[in-house]
Amino acid sequence: MKTGRSFLLIWLVLMVVWIVLNNSLHIQVILVGIISVSIIAALFASKSDVFACIRLNPKALLYMVIFFFVFLRELVKANLDVALRVVSPTIRINPGIVEVKTRLTSPLARLALANSITLTPGTLSVDIQGDTLFVHWIDVTATDAEQATKIIAATFEKYLEVIYG
């Protein structure tokens, strides 16, 4: 079952990449993609457990879609915040590194959380140690780990918990 699941996920990811890179939905391109992607997925599915922790149930798939839009919203908010800080006449920053505790148990889920934090301007994941992320924050408003977690990571964490477990 684990190999079949890995095969399916690797196949789906590679097929999406194939279609995006080829920028074509012609039948010949799709057929070559199906054959190529199937061979690659078959070769690597038994040796790869990177996707093993991703859940493939309807709720998790729905949360993946919701997470995408939540991430986009947070990305726009963070970009506007940083842009306003840049153009304001006074520099309104209070930089520092804060501890963020996560409930996520999967290494891939923690990586997704760290990347989501890093991709939103104003924050940068510096290190991950166990269930703790160290985040450089442009405007530290809370030094308490619990409060910083609530402000920085809670929005992403509730969706990633359902997707990765």
- 1: pLDDT strictly greater than 70: no
Q: What local confidence, expressed as pLDDT, does residue 45 receive?
A: 79
- Overall size of the chain counted in residues: 165
Q: What local confidence, expressed as pLDDT, does residue 74 receive?
A: 93
Q: What local confidence, expressed as pLDDT, does residue 50 receive?
A: 67
Give the pTM.
0.77
Gap between the Cα atoms of 18 and 122, Å rounded: 33
Beta bridge partners, 134, equal: 99, 127
Gap between the Cα atoms of 90 and 150, Å rounded: 27
Residue range 51-82, pLDDT digits in tens: 667 777 889 889 999 999 999 999 999 999 99
